[in-house]
Structure 1
Amino acid sequence: MGRKVTVATCCLNQWALDFEGNCERILRSIEEAKAHGAKYRLGPELEICGYGCADHFYESDTLLHSFQVLRNLLESPVTQDIICDVGMPIMHHNVRYNCRILFLNRKILLIRPKMLMANHGNYREVRWFSPWNKLRSVEEYFLPRMIQEVTGQVTSAVAVTSSCLVRVSLLNFVASPHIQMGRDGVEIFTNSSASHHELRKADQRVNLIKAATTKSGGIYLYANQRGCDGDRVYYDGCAMVAINGDVVAQGAQFSLDDVVLTEPRTLDHEPSASWSTFNPNQSPCHRVKVDFSLSGCDDVYLPTHQPIEWHFHTPEEEISLGPACWLWDYLRRSGQAGFLLPLSGGVDSSSTACIVHCMCVQLCRAVEGGNSRVLEDVRRVVGDESYHPQDPKELCARVFTTCYMASENSSEDTRNRARDLANQIGSTHMNINIDVAVKGILGIFSAVTGRWPQFRASGGSARENLALQNVQARVRMVLAYLFAQLSLWARGRPGGLLVLGSANVDESLTGYFTKYDCSSADINPIGGISKTDLKRFLLHCAERLQLTALRSILAAPPTAELEPLTDGRVSQTDEADMGMTYSELSVIGRLRKISKCGPFSMFCKLIHTWKDALSPSEVAQKVKRFFRMYSVNRHKMTTVTPSYHAESYSPDDNRFDLRPFLYNASWSWQFRCIDDQVSIIAFLSRSEREKMIRGAARR
């Protein structure tokens, strides 16, 4: 019959500029694909050099070393008798392209430049690459001498085997090209991706791919990068194979394996869709004839595909998996010996602690499952070649240090909550009192100025009150780095610790933290996660991991504990300081970033959204307070700790949110428009007011 093909796709934990490691992982994936009988292997985007090279793409070294790796792949016996589809940058006519290279038996079949660039959010592809805008056209590309010595060929843009059509494709949210391809007889679509993890995103990928093959039929292969790749995003895998609207193979979304091959599938590529019309003005795909078949003469006896049900993780499970895998990649590749976290006993630092514990859980499971690479990395991190982790709590004690940094403004409740959680997860815990250091710094100030600032509760001004809070916060940062560098030395162990931050995305958005305080760290696993999702995650950990200490943490009001206690109890709360709840702040954050709302348009939307809870004047007050805080504190985003990006409204200005950091904080014109609208609404009848609010929400 000659209609069945065996194909494989994969996820690789590539690392930017790690050419040797990247090459080894590519070869391993090809070897595994061949062992399962696959005739075609698809890998992730820019897998040879790593997707996250950023401005290293400008360097000639990156292009040179990519070709050197390509030569190694061409010459390897592992790559024989299978079509290999790999990604790397190419310079053509002095223009840099993001390309796919297809080769077979030491011969290059084609070079396919990417046509649709990702240029939003975390992606800046047009900064380094140009889109190929010559649709269905083919040009000669003269290979470097090192490749000519192996192949001696020039390549084109579309491949054809003797028994089926293959098209290198790109899944695009706006203008997917699969319809036109299907009408031109394409039967196998491939999509090599570098799509990072965000909460609740996996279903978008799956639904898009299922919809694509439902409409046009055929086989769809999706490969993705996995791991941190040296940056602040985490690529979560999710490789898959779909045919005629059904997913028939699923790769793990989160895994500690460097190479995750989606189990190859033998598929009947008879398309389910038939096209009754063909556009005569559309030029056909260029065909490259190759003496190689993806099908066999006896394939009638091969079993065909069966649809599978995709397992989607809940957001709470995603937090326990994605950031934990990102932390492990960062730790094992940084050469450090563990993490240090200032643990305050609040929701945010407790969430960070739980993510580290989840990392230890995954490591123990991987070792138990026979993952020798994970075991080797764990032994190197802890500095013990004979160590064999079995219990997450015991492993946590080796790689994780927590410290409660108390001041005279700290309560016994938060101290006890931090201690109880540390005991349950197994971290090495310390109690540190910062009062001596704070008084020493204030003593220096007093010796120079002759003045001693006071808290507001003792009659001090707002400026004094804020300065006294910031001194405490910044002392904690200094001590965190001191203990991160020397605490293992004090215990007679080699190595240093990475300092973990614990500012959530909502606090970062408003700047509700001290610049260069203990939120200033090496990395922050929760910097892209909302307070609402963190609370759900802690409840998940309390139930699934039996961390009962989290229940009292969830019940306590969030507080910075930087102002004096009242009768031994906390008098300062985060939500009172901010003038809004964290749930309200999450709504505002999405409107600001995702819906691109300024002050007035945000007010117009919120008077409708919050009409049952707040009056228009109360909504106006919250909107104006948010934008004042946002603009006054925007400069803090230039120093924000590199954070795991789990939300699409991250405030990180270095890579994600490209807005100014010096604002006119009065927003005089914008706020006047809001005030005018509030005044108009106040004189309307109830029916007129509701009608006006509905109209404002549609603006």
Structure 2
Amino acid sequence: MSHLITLATCNLNQWALDFEGNRDRILESIRISKEKGAKLRVGPELEITGYGCLDHFLENDLYLHSWEMYGQIIKNPETHGILLDIGMPVLHRNVRYNCRLLSLDGEILFVRPKIWLANDGNYREMRFFTPWMKPAVVEDFTLPPIIQKVTGQTIVPFGDAVISTLDTCIGAETCEELFTPQSPHIAMSLDGVEIFTNSSGSHHELRKLNKRLDLILSATRRCGGVYLYANQRGCDGDRLYYDGCALISINGRVVAQGSQFSLKDVEVVTATVDLEEVRSYRASVMSRGSQASLSPVKYKRVKVARELASQSDRFDPYVAPSSDRDAFYHKPEEEIALGPACWLWDYIRRCNGTGYFLPLSGGIDSCATAVIVHSMCRMVVKESKEGNVQVLNDVRKICRMDENWEPKDAQEIAGKIFHTCFMGTENSSKDTRQRSRELSKVIGSYHVDLNMDSVVSSVTSLFEVATGKKPIYKIFGGSQIENLALQNIQARLRMVLAYLFAQLLPWVRGIKNSGGLLVLGSANVDECLRGYLTKYDCSSADINPIGGISKTDLKRFIDYASREFDLPILKEFLTATPTAELEPITNDYVQSDEIDMGMTYEELSIFGYLRKVEKCGPYSMFLKLLHQWSPKLTPAQIAEKVKRFFFFYAINRHKQTVITPSYHAEQYSPDDNRFDLRPFLINPRFPWAAHKIDQVVKQCESEGKCDLDVMTVD
């Protein structure tokens, strides 16, 4: 006998502190869920406030407004007839909790606080909330007076409970709890819970989705049951992009999956599942029955005198369980094309911007940034043609067009909102200027091509008049400090010119009622890590879509985009030598990024991963690379590379304190303000670590080999 029930989860593009907008998107998701016949709807973590409110979670106003919005939601008759799982912060006995509120027909069933909080990497939940450290314990919670008037209730259960309907049992998990070794769903499953909801605020990182999906599928593969995963999607006001991918699984199989990257503000994912499959799956594993009978955790059941699966659904021959499907993953180059593009779209539409300005150098980094903007424009056109009213209204507003205008292609949008500029000097090559011009033409940006030698000369002349000294480049006999100063003048002047043009180009073009353009940065994660950029140069911008992406991944993305977007010009960027073009070009000398840095971009990615993800200092990094890079490199060569990396990383740490806010896409991002909290004044020689490294090198050289298993280094 089948026991069919339709369930709904969703991706919502919520925005921090956008209470009314967040409310309306929640209401829309409930309407769609009911329209599809769902009996349970689960939404993202903290969906009423938006997940990324940060220190606004410390403000009492936020809790008041959350209850006001929640009251408006559950008193609306259109939200009745479906079990709702909604996320918001709650004050209980003067303690702040990250909670789920479960309700039915305008009545709150119970409030479930989060037990295990995310408190590493980009997350600081312990700064704002307290974990509920009482497993399976429930207390009385007195509802605020404004909610008492709505529901007619005074007291509701608060704590670690589950819902028991006449035909099934439902438990709630929140984001981080899925990632913990002893997830709540394990004990809940042993106590008979059949349906698990998980409300998340999980951000995008390259190659991360498979870990998340594997955890969801393994949860129900081991325990049996139905798992509904909901996630926030979009930029809610900071460096992170929440990548959706709402999912429904049963017994380790995927039956529904939402999109990972999309411009849709509301996406509802539904599936019809057979609860008899859960019961059969669990009963077939005898050891599970033994564990269930011995499990010490018994949850309080909040009873609901109703069946979630209607009789008509259970016996309707035309209603069938949703079919299995394979989990879908984007390739990393597709993730780069879509994630930062969605982030840029949310940013420009929510800040009421006029458009973007990008210094286009002719190198691969600014090229990749421009192509991401092009990808954004492509996505906007696609959504507009598919009837996405929100996107169409937003693009008309940004482009200053009337209500009848519809964009015909990505180039038309770019021509109105995307501005690029090649800021050449006598050190610039014809090739980079030409590549910039041709790229701007094919993607449709409004392009300016200028020479700034007169500005550079004015600054150097001013210095000469004031000091009586004239700096000259190293290749003409100058010192290293003169050489760097002359390069930095050009780089910093480009930043000044970028903001000048960003403010005035809309005025030049006669765009009425417009503000300035947002300036885009284009320093990749490896350059930021190494500090291979000038402080307050044109890497200083309003936002940076590639600041968390490696040079290696950017090359793969450009290769992909050349084919997928039909942009053959991109092949020329791939074959060009990376160069800052800040020094004179002669018959014998062309400046090269990797030669300047003393290490390759591939090596930088490895250093970054070992430093941040594997938590290596200089000594442990050296030992790891001794295994990996021998015998291709000698111990002395490996030691020199490691010391060189940490030296330049350390002396340039101060640059990370003012780095442009960047799209977070890589686990080894050096973002000082949120992700990578390290001091910016440290001894760059790391003398004790260097001493230990030298000992290992000496021992290797004296023995003629390196056997780390028998090392005797103190």
**1:695/1:317 CA distance change after superposition, 3 Å:** farther
- Given candidates 516, 519, 527, the residue that maps to 1:499 is 519
Find the aligned partners of 1:387 and 1:337 in 2 and give their Cα distance: 17
Find the aligned partners of 2:674 and 2:570 in 1 and give their Cα distance: 33
Q: Is the 8 A contact 1:159 1:288 kept in 2?
A: yes
Q: Is the 8 A contact 1:249 1:265 kept in 2?
A: no
| Greater CA drift, 13-22 or 263-272 | 263-272
Aligned to 2:94: 94
Aligned to 1:353: 370
Unaligned runs of 5+ in 1: none
Find the aligned partners of 1:505 and 1:380 in 2 and give their Cα distance: 33
CA deviation after TM superposition for structure 1 residue 177, in Å? 2.2
State yes or no: 1:628 paired with 2:671: no
Tell me, what secondary structure is at the counterpart of 2:196?
A: strand
Aligned to 1:162: 166
Aligned to 1:325: 342
Aligned to 1:273: 282
Give the aligned residue type for 2:544. Answer: N
State yes or no: 1:32 paired with 2:32: yes
Aligned to 1:443: 461
State yes or no: 1:563 paired with 2:570: no
Find the aligned partners of 1:529 and 1:695 in 2 and give their Cα distance: 39
Find the aligned partners of 1:283 and 1:618 in 2 and give their Cα distance: 57
Q: Is the 8 A contact 2:2 2:276 kept in 1?
A: no
Aligned to 2:691: 672
Q: May I ask how many residue pairs the two structures share in their alignment? A: 693
Tell me, what secondary structure is at the counterpart of 1:225?
A: strand
Q: Give per-residue Cα distances to partners, 1:543-569, cap 9 Å, x unaligned.
A: 1112111111111111111111113x8
Aligned to 1:56: 56
Spell out the pairing of 1:122-201 with structure 2 (5 A cutoff).
122-151=122-151, 152-156=153-157, 157-170=161-174, 171-201=178-208
Q: Give per-residue Cα distances to partners, 1:415-436, cap 9 Å, x unaligned.
A: 1111111111111111121111
Identity %: 54
CA deviation after TM superposition for structure 1 residue 281, in Å? 6.2
Spell out the pairing of 1:378-397 with structure 2 (5 A cutoff).
378-385=395-402, 386-397=404-415
Find the aligned partners of 1:375 and 1:288 in 2 and give their Cα distance: 44
State yes or no: 1:548 paired with 2:564: no
State yes or no: 1:525 paired with 2:545: yes
Q: Give per-residue Cα distances to partners, 1:84-124, cap 9 Å, x unaligned.
A: 11100011111100000011111100100000111111111
Give the aligned residue type for 2:394. Answer: D
Superposed CA RMSD in Å reads: 1.5
Give the aligned residue type for 1:169. Answer: E
Q: Is the 8 A contact 1:36 1:264 kept in 2?
A: no
CA deviation after TM superposition for structure 1 residue 269, in Å? 5.0
- Given candidates 656, 662, 669, the residue that maps to 1:637 is 656
- Given candidates 639, 654, 665, the residue that maps to 2:673 is 654
Find the aligned partners of 2:181 and 2:225 in 1 and give their Cα distance: 20
Q: Is the 8 A contact 1:9 1:264 kept in 2?
A: no
Aligned to 2:239: 232
Spell out the pairing of 1:354-433 with structure 2 (5 A cutoff).
354-385=371-402, 386-433=404-451
CA deviation after TM superposition for structure 1 residue 507, in Å? 0.5
Tell me, what secondary structure is at the counterpart of 1:189?
A: strand
Find the aligned partners of 1:269 and 1:149 in 2 and give their Cα distance: 40
Q: TM-score, normalised by structure 2?
A: 0.95
Tell me, what secondary structure is at the counterpart of 1:159?
A: strand
Spell out the pairing of 1:475-490 with structure 2 (5 A cutoff).
475-490=493-508
Aligned to 1:218: 225
State yes or no: 1:246 paired with 2:248: no
State yes or no: 1:468 paired with 2:486: yes
CA deviation after TM superposition for structure 1 residue 246, in Å? 0.6
Find the aligned partners of 1:263 and 1:8 in 2 and give their Cα distance: 4
Find the aligned partners of 1:657 and 1:678 in 2 and give their Cα distance: 30
Q: Give per-residue Cα distances to partners, 1:127-153, cap 9 Å, x unaligned.
A: 101110000000000010000111224
CA deviation after TM superposition for structure 1 residue 266, in Å? 4.1
State yes or no: 1:312 paired with 2:329: yes
Tell me, what secondary structure is at the counterpart of 2:372?
A: helix
Unaligned runs of 5+ in 2: none
**1:49/1:695 CA distance change after superposition, 3 Å:** farther
Find the aligned partners of 2:457 and 2:293 in 1 and give their Cα distance: 79
User: Structure 1 segments of 4 or more deviating over 4 A?
Assistant: none
- Given candidates 605, 619, 635, the residue that maps to 2:638 is 619
| Greater CA drift, 285-294 or 183-192 | 285-294
Q: Is the 8 A contact 2:255 2:271 kept in 1?
A: no
State yes or no: 1:113 paired with 2:113: yes
Find the aligned partners of 2:690 and 2:123 in 1 and give their Cα distance: 33
Give the aligned residue type for 1:290. Answer: V
Q: Is the 8 A contact 1:411 1:570 kept in 2?
A: no
Find the aligned partners of 1:15 and 1:179 in 2 and give their Cα distance: 32
Aligned to 1:10: 10
Q: Give per-residue Cα distances to partners, 1:517-539, cap 9 Å, x unaligned.
A: 00000000001101100000000
Tell me, what secondary structure is at the counterpart of 1:284?
A: coil
CA deviation after TM superposition for structure 1 residue 381, in Å? 0.2
- Given candidates 273, 285, 300, the residue that maps to 1:286 is 300
Q: Give per-residue Cα distances to partners, 1:614-635, cap 9 Å, x unaligned.
A: 1111111111110110010000
**1:63/1:570 CA distance change after superposition, 3 Å:** farther
Tell me, what secondary structure is at the counterpart of 1:506?
A: helix
Give the aligned residue type for 1:414. Answer: T
CA deviation after TM superposition for structure 1 residue 264, in Å? 3.9
Aligned to 1:340: 357
CA deviation after TM superposition for structure 1 residue 268, in Å? 2.9
CA deviation after TM superposition for structure 1 residue 589, in Å? 0.5
Find the aligned partners of 1:570 and 1:555 in 2 and give their Cα distance: 18
Q: Is the 8 A contact 1:2 1:297 kept in 2?
A: no
Find the aligned partners of 1:550 and 1:288 in 2 and give their Cα distance: 60
| Greater CA drift, 157-166 or 186-195 | 157-166
Give the aligned residue type for 2:546. Answer: I
Q: Give per-residue Cα distances to partners, 1:327-363, cap 9 Å, x unaligned.
A: 0000100111111100111111100001000001111
CA deviation after TM superposition for structure 1 residue 286, in Å? 0.3
Q: Is the 8 A contact 2:581 2:591 kept in 1?
A: yes
